Structure 1
């Protein structure tokens, strides 16, 4: 059902289990608070859905109490961790999250992991969040190109998640700015952003119409394009006005990247990302930077070369044995 927010924003959401056994995604729409959240649980065996639900509820409770959005996300991280420690949660459960507070024409976005926020304005789609992922870290450090990122074997590895980090170790991505009249803000799990590229996302969003219907089309197309994961979308439409104010550009912000830890701090840039990885992926994995790099060495091109050397040595030994037997 499409609802109306405090700024007469129209909002809708939709989720689908995809080809998984459980839907570990959760989403929240609170028009009175102007709060919208998508959380993608990780852990399997229903553990992920517990983590994503706790994340949504804690963020809503804290924002309702006047807590800053990023601080609310940090408190969600603490409560998911506490739930595991107390036994009310399940070991290994975690969640990504992307959340937005839209009030008085201003938008505050916060995220952890690879759930994303996109902004459509004047038929231009921009990615307004940056994944806490191994591939994004490699891009930021200049170690790979955007083209290489599209097919990187570790593009489903995330470096940050709610519930698996101490407060001081969790970096909450942040973006703030003014939403122009007629903008569409999309929050989605990777079940949407992985199988669909930027052009496919933009085509559906540019069709306009009811936000919930648009979310349903996004989810259906993601599954049609080979997506296997739970798929969730929340869409916030700001009302268009006759005197469209063009004095403000979409929000701009800056961030910092620590190549030693592979972590992000501050606010994410709004440079548009023309392409999004769209090959269907397997289950999201959570690793540290060092674990991801070691895994890449073991299974990447270096690992393949090692296997080829062992095969060559084996064939050489067989050839020598055959030659000796013929003498």
Structure 2
């Protein structure tokens, strides 16, 4: 399906929903062709530097309630304490304590929160975060999250390989979710990384990642610098692949310039590099500590990381 087709569908049927007023990011969601209802939810606040994608489980209204609960708790946290792990724990407790909650009602979630020159990712289940960096061809797409799923457990144990995992009949069975009576205690994974100018993050539900190969995702990001266009084409690619599940994506640009590079100048780098050559190992270690205070790009350049 072409981008034009996706836009045409959104005008006439309202099936593609998008965020508005965004500058650095764009999000889109679509119910797909096999589901009557969209149980995914997403939200973004660029000013506060937080993005979330949640994939509801349980069918019909149950999944919608679960994903909406996750988003509402992230919104509450963004406006108050910015403790997003606590927000996911609150959503978990609310879903477990809801008298209308069925045993299989829950949600996966992936959250990105910026903190100066860094971003932090929190996730539960098989909603994913990818990091795209420019380069030759389609650049490099790296999966930052690790699925909490039965098939991922088999891959990690060496029982099957990634090709077998993609075709496994139980590939949609998750081992961890927010809510659901089988998970009374919620474990949340976290990873952190510095931002670099020109790089991007992709958040998505498994409606994209289970249907579209990473090579195609990378190509779409490489060929479309406009986030709105990239988000629409990612949804279109999942629909072309069959649209068997709800599809939700958010594409996020690094700050421009990336916060870690704001204080960097070539003159400063040359001076510090010259100073480093004249120092012993203890002096270089001290200089490295100072360099961290002036930005991750400077420290990386000084010690040959980039």
TM range (shorter): 0.7 to 0.9
CA contact (8 A) 2:102 2:180 kept: no
CA contact (8 A) 2:74 2:84 kept: yes
CA contact (8 A) 2:103 2:181 kept: no
Change (3 A) 1:82 1:165: same
Displacement over 4 Å in runs of 4+ = 165-168, 240-244, 246-249
Which ranges in structure 1 are unaligned for 5 or more consecutive residues?
Answer: 5-9, 250-327
Give yes or no for the alignment of 1:50 onto 2:65: yes
* Structure 2 partner of 1:3: 22
CA drift of 1:16 comes to: 0.6
CA contact (8 A) 1:2 1:211 kept: no
Change (3 A) 1:167 1:145: closer
Q: Deviations over 1:43-96 (max 9, x none)?
A: 11221011100111112212322142222211111112222x3x3x55532111
CA contact (8 A) 2:131 2:201 kept: yes
Aligned length: 241
Which structure has the larger Rg over C-alpha atoms?
1
- Which region of structure 1 is more displaced relative to structure 2, 235-244 or 135-144? 235-244
CA contact (8 A) 1:178 1:248 kept: no
Alignment of 1:9-20 (within 5 A): 10-19=24-33, 20=35
Alignment of 1:184-199 (within 5 A): 184-199=200-215
- Which region of structure 1 is more displaced relative to structure 2, 164-173 or 192-201? 164-173
CA contact (8 A) 1:180 1:238 kept: yes
CA drift of 1:39 comes to: 0.4
Give yes or no for the alignment of 1:94 onto 2:106: yes
- Partners in 1 of 2:298 and 2:219 — Cα distance? 23
Alignment of 1:282-297 (within 5 A): none
* Structure 1 partner of 2:17: none
- Partners in 1 of 2:201 and 2:220 — Cα distance? 13
- Which region of structure 1 is more displaced relative to structure 2, 167-176 or 211-220? 167-176
Alignment of 1:116-131 (within 5 A): 116-122=128-134, 123-131=139-147
Task: State which of 141, 147, 151 in structure 1 corresponds to 2:163.
Answer: 147
* Structure 2 partner of 1:203: 219
Secondary structure of the equivalent of 1:109?
Answer: strand
Task: State which of 112, 116, 137 in structure 2 corresponds to 1:104.
Answer: 116
Q: Deviations over 1:101-153 (max 9, x none)?
A: 02322111011110000000121100000000001111222222223222222
- Partners in 2 of 1:138 and 1:246 — Cα distance? 41
Change (3 A) 1:134 1:31: same
Which ranges in structure 2 are unaligned for 5 or more consecutive residues?
Answer: 1-19, 265-296, 302-306
TM-score, scaled to structure 2: 0.73
CA drift of 1:168 comes to: 6.2
CA contact (8 A) 1:2 1:12 kept: no
CA contact (8 A) 2:130 2:141 kept: yes
CA contact (8 A) 1:106 1:176 kept: yes
Change (3 A) 1:190 1:167: closer
- Partners in 1 of 2:78 and 2:184 — Cα distance? 21
CA contact (8 A) 2:220 2:234 kept: yes
CA RMSD for the aligned pairs? 2.2
* Structure 1 partner of 2:240: 224
* Structure 1 partner of 2:193: 177
TM-score, scaled to structure 1: 0.69
- Partners in 1 of 2:226 and 2:121 — Cα distance? 22
CA contact (8 A) 1:2 1:212 kept: no
CA drift of 1:175 comes to: 0.7
Q: Deviations over 1:171-221 (max 9, x none)?
A: 212111111111110000001101101101000111232212211110011
- Partners in 2 of 1:113 and 1:78 — Cα distance? 16
CA drift of 1:238 comes to: 1.1
Secondary structure of the equivalent of 2:95?
Answer: helix
